[in-house]
């Protein structure tokens, strides 16, 4: 796991680390799903997502917001995501399963993805992201 929860006064904040932007976006999905459904998530279903945005932060925000929408409307619990980013364009394959209330009740409802504090940075080890999920 290359993400960790960090203290936040009202919502849930995560710090995500990854060697590439593609993996940073994938790990961000895992952090979101961890909050929403807990650790018991498996594959079996696939779902494609394609998006464009003006910058990396907007692309990440839009991507996670789309996953939140898909999860709520299609009852998809995402176990992992394979993400490919080319400039301002994102293609992703989501791997998950249908929501099962007996297995996926360990989480917290996420109302939205916050732009507040959303920042992607690069350092010697790769990329880092701080993100807040509104709960």
- Domains of the chain in sequence order: 3-134 (3.55.10.10)
Give the model confidence (pLDDT) of 29-78 as tens digits: 999 999 999 888 888 899 999 999 999 999 999 999 999 999 999 999 99
pTM, full prediction: 0.93
Contact status, residue 28 vs residue 34, Cβ threshold 8 Å: no
Least trusted range by pLDDT, from 5-14, 64-73, 93-102, 105-114: 5-14
pLDDT of residue 49: 98
Q: Examine the pLDDT at 1 and tell me if it is beyond 70.
A: no
Interval 91-108 mean pLDDT: 91
Interval 81-90 mean pLDDT: 96
**CA 69 – CA 65 distance, rounded (Å):** 6
Interval 104-125 mean pLDDT: 90
Residue linked to tokens 């994938």 = 26
**CA 129 – CA 118 distance, rounded (Å):** 7
Confidence grade of residue 6 (pLDDT, cut at 50, 70, 90):
confident
């Amino acid at each position: 796991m290359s993400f960790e929860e960090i203290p936040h006064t009202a919502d849930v904040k995560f710090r995500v680390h990854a060697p590439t932007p593609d993996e940073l976006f994938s790990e961000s999905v895992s952090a979101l799903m961890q909050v929403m459904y807990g650790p018991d998530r498996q594959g079996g279903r696939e779902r494609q997502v394609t998006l464009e945005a003006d910058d990396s932060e907007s692309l990440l925000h839009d991507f996670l917001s789309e996953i939140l929408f898909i999860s709520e409307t299609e009852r998809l619990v995402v176990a992992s995501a394979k993400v490919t980013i080319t400039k301002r364009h994102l293609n992703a394959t989501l791997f998950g399963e249908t929501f099962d209330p007996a297995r996926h009740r360990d989480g917290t409802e996420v109302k939205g993805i916050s732009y507040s504090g959303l920042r992607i940075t690069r350092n010697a080890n790769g990329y880092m992201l701080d993100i807040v999920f509104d709960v």
